[in-house]
Amino acid sequence: MLSNSLIELDRAHLVHPVASYRGHERAGVRVLKSATGATVTDATGHQMIDGFAGLWCVNAGYGQESIVEAATRQLRELPYATGYFGLGSEPAIRLAAELAERAPGDLNHVYFTLGGSDAVDSTIRFIHYYQNARGMPGKNQFISIEQGYHGSSTVGAGLTALPAFHAGFGVPLNWQHKIPSHYAYRNPAGNDPQAIIAASVAALRNKVEELGQDRVAAFYAEPIQGSGGVLVPPPGWMKAMRDLCRELDILFVADEVITGFGRTGPLFACSEDDIVPDLMTTAKGLTSGYAPMGAVFMSDHVYDTIADGAGETAVGHGYTYSAHPVSAAVGLEVLRLYEGGLLDNGRKAGARLMSGLESLADHPLVGDVRGRGMLAAVELVVDKQCKTPLPPAAHPSRRIFDRAWDNGLIIRAFGNGVLGFAPPLCCTEAEIDAIVERTRMTLDQTL
Ligand code: PLP
């Protein structure tokens, strides 16, 4: 039994991320106790399939003994090494090299962070440095996309276009500009792929013209917009945006914090999109959630411009825990597991997940089913013809989340009636089928 005192201690002392503090105090915490494979058990003994891999991060699944062993070995041998003073650790150096070898094109330089928000934050710092180093300090404006999510740090949140991350904070955002999302299901340009691409290209071109090309530093895009509701652009969209950025002399940053490490199939979604960004951010699947870590990938020309600009001067950006050796040891083992079969399994499981979720399209509440690989969403509506969203009272995300939980499934229930799916890549066929069945059961109870 879950001890009441734990709930009380949580209520009194633990501040939760992205939560209504008062709402959480009323509802009380649910404590997760253990997990193995794709199954999570809470402190009351209730078991669920984790259809969201924690927070789209436990790509390798839970209870992978070889990861535990790699971390334990590193904790014993050298639990910490700074990268300052010209020092380093073997796992961090090896992981950087292994990642550079697999990253698209000339993304050969890896800067390790603690997660995705500070990876995005670091790119903003590096880009300012880069533009200064090449003698263009006026290039200090950034463009991202409506419904995009790029983290919750003071600066990185500026790129995030979800209202909840700005309301009530009042942080100045005058350096940050948005263009509309490619969101096909509700796109005013219709859902013709070429029209969507043309609209995004025109929107970026117009935005750059409006701001002045000599003022725009960079454009940020997720290969699939995750927290905005799993919004998948048409094939060719990333390439068209990347080409335009090159033409306009704007750095293109691919934020692969969710899409990286097998989530959409390959190690990096950019490879499938056939593009090489100037910079790329990753986190989550990098260590599969077993230890905190993110990584910024820099192309040769970005790295060299910064390095040459700095000369013998230190580039003043770094954290105590940059390139943490335990996280790096975890990252190396996770990479071995991905390539030892998890990516293959994820591709097969992803195809089964998509066709399973597509079979829900006949449900009266399902307006749209979309996704790629093991990243998917079902968008709920009350009227399929008019695409009328569920009225707020019918879809408080907590209520759908609760029903799914009771049915033995963890999914993400976004506030706008979108259900998000991102199961671990290790899921069996039976687990994928159970995710679909339990989702249908949850929808039936929501009617
Ligand atoms: N960028 C993207 C695309 C994300 O989805 C996230 C988190 O979900 C972040 C950045 C921030 O990562 P973190 O939560 O590890 O700080």
What average pLDDT does this structure show over 336-355?
A: 98
Q: What φ, ψ does residue 367 adopt, rounded to 5°?
A: -95, -35
**Residue written as token pair 């934020």:** 255
Q: Considering the chain, what is the average pLDDT of its residues? A: 96
Alpha carbon 304 to chain centroid, angstroms? 28
Rounded distance between C-alpha atoms, residue 408 and residue 272, angstroms: 33
Cβ(121) – ligand 1 distance below 6 Å: no
Substitution candidate for ligand 1 out of 120, 160, 224, 259 with most atoms within 8 A of CB: 120
Cβ(117) – ligand 1 distance below 6 Å: yes
In this prediction the ipTM stands at 0.99
Instruction: Give which of 49, 8, 5, 112 is closest to 326, Cα–Cα.
Output: 112
Instruction: Give which of 318, 180, 365, 338 is closest to 264, Cα–Cα.
Output: 338
Q: State pTM to two decimals.
A: 0.97
Cβ(61) – ligand 1 distance below 6 Å: no
Ligand 1 centre distance from Cα of residue 387 (Å):
29
| Ligand 1: residue whose CA is nearest its atom 12 | 116
User: Residue 8's pLDDT is what?
Assistant: 96
Which numbered atom of ligand 1 lies nearest the CA of 148? 3
Cβ(258) – ligand 1 distance below 6 Å: yes
Rounded distance between C-alpha atoms, residue 389 and residue 407, angstroms: 24
Which numbered atom of ligand 1 lies nearest the CA of 256? 3
Return the H-helix or E-strand segment holding 67. helix 65-77
What average pLDDT does this structure show over 53-76?
A: 98
User: Residue 246's pLDDT is what?
Assistant: 98
Rounded distance between C-alpha atoms, residue 302 and residue 304, angstroms: 6
Alpha carbon 418 to chain centroid, angstroms? 16
Per-residue buried b or exposed e for 102-119, using 16+ beta carbons within 10 Å of the residue's own CB: ebbebbbbbbbbbbbbbb
What average pLDDT does this structure show over 296-303?
A: 98
User: Residue 447's pLDDT is what?
Assistant: 79
Cβ(149) – ligand 1 distance below 6 Å: yes
Per-residue DSSP letter, 145: E
Per-residue pLDDT band for 394 (boundaries 50, 70, 90) equals low
Rounded distance between C-alpha atoms, residue 272 and residue 104, angstroms: 10
Cβ(150) – ligand 1 distance below 6 Å: yes
Which contacts (CB < 8 Å, 24+ apart) does range 352-361 have?
352/429, 352/432, 352/433, 353/421, 353/423, 353/427, 353/432, 353/435, 353/436, 356/432, 356/433, 356/435, 356/436, 357/421, 357/436, 357/439, 359/436, 360/436, 360/439, 360/440, 360/443
pLDDT at residue 34 is higher than 90:
yes
Residue 116 in 3-state DSSP? Answer: helix
Cβ(260) – ligand 1 distance below 6 Å: no
pLDDT at residue 242 is higher than 70:
yes
What average pLDDT does this structure show over 57-61?
A: 98
**Residue written as token pair 């290209």:** 201
Cβ(222) – ligand 1 distance below 6 Å: yes
Extract the runs of DSSP E, i.e. beta strands, from 17-150: 32-36, 39-42, 47-50, 109-113, 141-145
User: Residue 393's pLDDT is what?
Assistant: 62
Per-residue pLDDT band for 172 (boundaries 50, 70, 90) equals confident
Ligand 1 centre distance from Cα of residue 117 (Å):
6
Cβ(283) – ligand 1 distance below 6 Å: yes
Ligand 1 centre distance from Cα of residue 286 (Å):
12
Per-residue pLDDT band for 391 (boundaries 50, 70, 90) equals confident
Domains of the chain, start order:
4-63+339-446 (3.90.1150.10), 66-337 (3.40.640.10)
How big is the CA angle at 53 (ends 48 and 56), to the nearest 5 degrees? 145
Which numbered atom of ligand 1 lies nearest the CA of 118? 16
User: Residue 189's pLDDT is what?
Assistant: 73
pLDDT at residue 395 is higher than 70:
no
Q: Over the stretch 254-295, which tens digit does the pLDDT of each residue have?
A: 999 999 999 999 999 999 999 999 999 999 999 999 999 999
